[in-house]
């Protein structure tokens, strides 16, 4: 009976050894012996074990994936120095060790990956990657997903990129095994119309194709936000593919003139830029929906064999919308996606115009609901007015289409931030997720319920799913940073805030919350420097600038300085009687330890049903109040146990 164990399995062999034996047998055997000496030294040093030599190769096992990878890097570097053409492959899995050899699927996969390698490289499976991806010593590079001989499931193969190693070019791997494509990003189609104002149209075409492709089973489609982050940037598709972690890229252009439109589209491999398919469509404008669907179908069919997609046609259906209404709808999307209050107002106007032209336009109602939701959340519309409009438009979208995931998301926001009916909100987000599991927005919205209730681990699992679909989204990554902040992982939160600020130095809320993370971590001076730098630039946040500095000086122990900011806040409130100051006072009173005054202000926050109230259980700002029985009563009133 053999011994079964879970191991990191490493195969090595000499590239071109058979040919070397035919040319110079003595030299080839000498090379093999030098190879074995390196193996015996390095594998022993990294607590591995050589189980079997076979000709020019060897099979070794390790109890640790990290040890196997570290050993492989050392072996390969020594081999390169000694002019030994070595290939290495690593996998983790079950092995059965018997007297006459080693067996198991893990052994077979490791062997196939090694044969896939090139001289000087270390190739690893996706299982090994999972163990290494957060280890600072390794930065594996994805080579693609491949079907390996006698291996049932496709395997993602990576190359280690440590200094001194060879990282194969994609062209070197072509023809070795069958590649599968399961992910795609659609870059913003370029507006080649004479009128630059037609940019909304080319953006809209892109978004519609993204939506159509997202319905294809087995295909991961990068969300709009991440794809559009490359708008106007002249970058190589290979670099974009790396950043978005996709295997294929669709790009194109739109030329609109009168009632005619020309759409060109090109699908390329994200690994080597190789063109997979290209086509140009000349159509009348009223045929635009057929063209969108035709592009999505053709791409799907290009990938069908590699994805084993079935019934693509049933998933992608042509819409029936009046072209003028559609134009207004695209304008609404264009403005909404700018994600600012002013543009949200323009979006609402465009969506309403689309509805006037076509009263049964479900997508326009869904867009209108999102625009109203943003206007309510940012305080442009008063909560009672704004959320009522959001709910009305969202319900109308669902009345027209019971499978409107955006309709469900819109009314879930109303339940979360206005009614505080978290169970109903959760029900709505789960319906949206069931309808469209590939929606980054639905996954992100699903993180709200556990986040509000203080379950950050569950919240982060939803956020990570959203990030898989939309890896470069500022909103998604900001939500991840906030979850780390709420969980008390302040250093992790700061890392993500820094990443966001690298992408957009003007991202004020990321800058501000970076300051709060420093403050809660006890780094008072760093926080104060950030809050001073922000000044009055936190327009989208619901507390006044003086509050941040007052709270920071209070925590630092400089109470008298903190009270000067309280006086400043009082004067500001007196000069602006219509301003919303309740949350600001509650926050600063909490920092100063003025507990009774803090609860009195929080009472007003709840009476006004300000959306920020739902986070009082999770936010560390309110930590000084948590031991007071009044805090639990407020939580019960909000509906949080």
- Residue 553 and residue 562: Cα distance in Å, rounded? 5
State the average pLDDT over residues 414-429.
Answer: 93
Residue 225: the pLDDT is 81
Q: Binning pLDDT at 50, 70 and 90, where does residue 291 land?
A: low
Least confident of 13-22, 343-352, 490-499, 530-539: 530-539
73-131 pLDDT tens trace: 999 999 999 889 999 999 998 778 776 666 777 888 888 888 878 889 999 998 999 88
Last residue of a domain, one of 320, 336, 354: 320
Residue 320: the pLDDT is 65
State the average pLDDT over residues 35-39.
Answer: 90
Residues 42 and 84 in one domain: yes
Q: What is the largest CA-CA distance in the chain?
A: 94
Residues 10 and 114 in one domain: yes
pLDDT of 284 above 90: no
Question: Average pLDDT, whole number, for the chain?
Answer: 85
Could you write out the DSSP letters of every residue in 405-433? HHHHHHHHHHIIIII--HHHHHHHHHHHH
Q: Is residue 454 part of a domain?
A: no
Q: Binning pLDDT at 50, 70 and 90, where does residue 316 land?
A: very low
Q: Exposed (0-12), middle (13-18) or buried (19+): which is 227, by Cβ within 10 Å? A: buried
Per DSSP, the three-state class of 165 is coil
Residue 556: the pLDDT is 95
Phi, psi angle pair for 634, to nearest 5°: -65, -40
Residues 88 and 229 in one domain: no
442-466 pLDDT tens trace: 999 999 999 999 999 999 999 999 9
Q: Is residue 212 part of a domain?
A: yes
CATH code where residue 84 lies:
3.30.70.1230
Residue 289: the pLDDT is 66
Q: Which residues contact 494 (CB under 8 A, 6 or more apart)?
A: 514, 517, 518, 521
pLDDT of 577 above 70: yes
Q: Binning pLDDT at 50, 70 and 90, where does residue 292 land?
A: low
State the average pLDDT over residues 554-572.
Answer: 94
Q: Is residue 26 part of a domain?
A: yes
b (16+ CB within 10 A) / e for 371-391:
bbbbbbbbbebebeebbbbbb
Residue 18: the pLDDT is 77
Residues 111 and 156 in one domain: yes
Residue 424: the pLDDT is 96
Q: Is residue 252 part of a domain?
A: yes
Q: Binning pLDDT at 50, 70 and 90, where does residue 19 land?
A: confident
Last residue of a domain, one of 149, 164, 179: 179
Range of the domain at 159: 3-179
Q: Is residue 198 part of a domain?
A: yes
Q: Binning pLDDT at 50, 70 and 90, where does residue 178 land?
A: low
Residue 470: the pLDDT is 87
Residue with tokens 């200094």: 163
- Pairwise pLDDT comparison (184 vs 147), residue with the higher score: 184
Residue 301: the pLDDT is 66
Which tokens belong to 614? 């739902």
Residues 19 and 146 in one domain: yes
Residues 139 and 112 in one domain: yes
Residues 164 and 265 in one domain: no
Residue 374: the pLDDT is 85
Residues 569 and 582 in one domain: yes
Residues 108 and 191 in one domain: no
Residues 52, 55, 56, 57, CA torsion sign: negative
Q: Binning pLDDT at 50, 70 and 90, where does residue 213 land?
A: confident
Q: Binning pLDDT at 50, 70 and 90, where does residue 434 land?
A: very high
For the chain, helix (H) and strand (E) counts, in that order, are 29, 15
Q: Binning pLDDT at 50, 70 and 90, where does residue 221 land?
A: confident
Residues 20 and 143 in one domain: yes
Q: Residue 262: beta bridge partners? A: 255, 282
How many distinct structural domains can be found in the chain? 3
Residue 174: the pLDDT is 52
Q: Binning pLDDT at 50, 70 and 90, where does residue 553 land?
A: very high
pLDDT of 308 above 50: no
Residues 26 and 165 in one domain: yes
Residue 411: the pLDDT is 94
Residues 173 and 251 in one domain: no
Residue 2: the pLDDT is 62
Residue 242: the pLDDT is 80
Residue 304: the pLDDT is 56
Q: Is residue 372 part of a domain?
A: no
Last residue of a domain, one of 179, 200, 220: 179
């Amino acid at each position: 009976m053999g011994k079964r164990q879970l191991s990191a399995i490493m195969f090595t062999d000499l590239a071109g050894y058979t040919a070397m034996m035919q040319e110079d047998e003595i030299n080839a055997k000498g090379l093999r012996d030098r190879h074995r000496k390196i193996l015996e030294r390095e594998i022993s040093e990294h607590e591995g074990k050589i189980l079997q030599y076979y000709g020019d190769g060897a099979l070794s096992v390790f109890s640790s994936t990290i040890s196997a990878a570290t050993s492989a890097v050392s072996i390969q570097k020594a081999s390169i120095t000694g002019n030994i053409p070595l290939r290495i492959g690593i996998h983790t899995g079950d092995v059965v060790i018997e007297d006459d050899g080693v067996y198991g699927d893990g052994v077979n996969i490791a062997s196939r990956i090694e044969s896939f390698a090139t001289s000087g490289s270390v190739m690893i499976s996706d299982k090994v990657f999972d163990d290494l991806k957060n280890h600072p010593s390794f930065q594996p590079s994805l080579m693609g997903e491949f079907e390996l001989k006698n291996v049932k499931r496709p395997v993602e193969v990576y190359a280690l990129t440590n200094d001194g190693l060879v990282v194969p070019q994609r062209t070197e791997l072509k023809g070795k095994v069958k590649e599968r494509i399961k992910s795609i990003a659609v870059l913003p189609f370029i507006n080649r119309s004479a009128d630059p104002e037609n940019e909304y149209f080319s953006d809209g075409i892109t978004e519609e194709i993204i939506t159509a492709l997202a319905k294809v089973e087995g295909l991961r489609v990068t969300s709009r936000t991440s794809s559009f982050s490359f708008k106007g940037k002249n970058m190589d598709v290979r670099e974009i593919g790396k950043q978005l972690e996709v295997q294929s890229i669709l790009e194109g252009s739109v030329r609109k003139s009168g009632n005619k439109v020309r759409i060109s589209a090109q699908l390329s491999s994200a690994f080597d830029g190789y063109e997979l398919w290209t086509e140009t469509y000349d159509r009348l404008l009223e045929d635009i929906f057929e063209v969108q669907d035709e592009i999505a179908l053709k791409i799907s069919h290009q990938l069908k064999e590699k994805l084993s997609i079935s019934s693509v046609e049933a998933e992608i259906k042509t819409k029936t919308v009046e072209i003028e209404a559609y134009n207004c709808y695209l304008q609404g999307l264009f403005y909404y996606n700018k994600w600012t209050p002013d543009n949200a107002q323009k979006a609402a106007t465009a969506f309403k115009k689309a509805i006037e032209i076509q009263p049964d336009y479900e997508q326009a109602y869904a867009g209108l609901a999102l625009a109203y939701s943003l206007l309510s959340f940012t305080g442009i519309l008063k909560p009672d007015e704004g959320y009522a409009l959001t709910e009305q438009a969202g319900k109308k979208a669902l009345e027209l289409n019971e499978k409107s995931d955006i309709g469900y998301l819109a009314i879930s926001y109303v339940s979360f931030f206005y009614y505080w009916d978290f169970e109903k909100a959760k029900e709505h987000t789960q319906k949206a997720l069931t309808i469209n599991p590939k929606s980054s927005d639905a996954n992100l919205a699903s993180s709200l319920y556990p986040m509000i209730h203080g379950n950050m681990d569950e919240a982060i699992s939803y956020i990570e799913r959203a990030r898989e679909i939309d890896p470069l989204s500022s909103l998604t990554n900001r939500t991840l940073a906030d979850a780390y902040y709420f969980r008390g992982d302040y250093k992790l939160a700061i890392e993500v805030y820094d990443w966001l600020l690298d992408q957009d130095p003007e991202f004020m809320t990321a800058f501000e919350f970076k300051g709060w993370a420093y403050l809660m971590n006890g780094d008072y001076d760093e926080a104060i420097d950030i809050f001073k730098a922000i000044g009055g630039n936190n327009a989208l946040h619901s507390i006044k600038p003086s509050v941040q500095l007052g709270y920071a000086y209070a925590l630092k122990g400089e109470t008298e300085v903190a009270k000067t900011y309280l006086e400043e806040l009082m004067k500001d409130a007196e000069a602006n009687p219509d301003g919303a100051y309740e949350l600001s006072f509650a926050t600063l009173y909490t920092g100063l330890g003025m507990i009774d005054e803090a609860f009195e202000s929080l009472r007003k926050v709840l009476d006004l049903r300000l959306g920020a109230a739902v986070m009082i259980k999770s936010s560390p700002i309110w930590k000084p109040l948590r031991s007071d029985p009044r805090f639990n009563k407020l939580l019960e009133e909000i509906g949080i146990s």
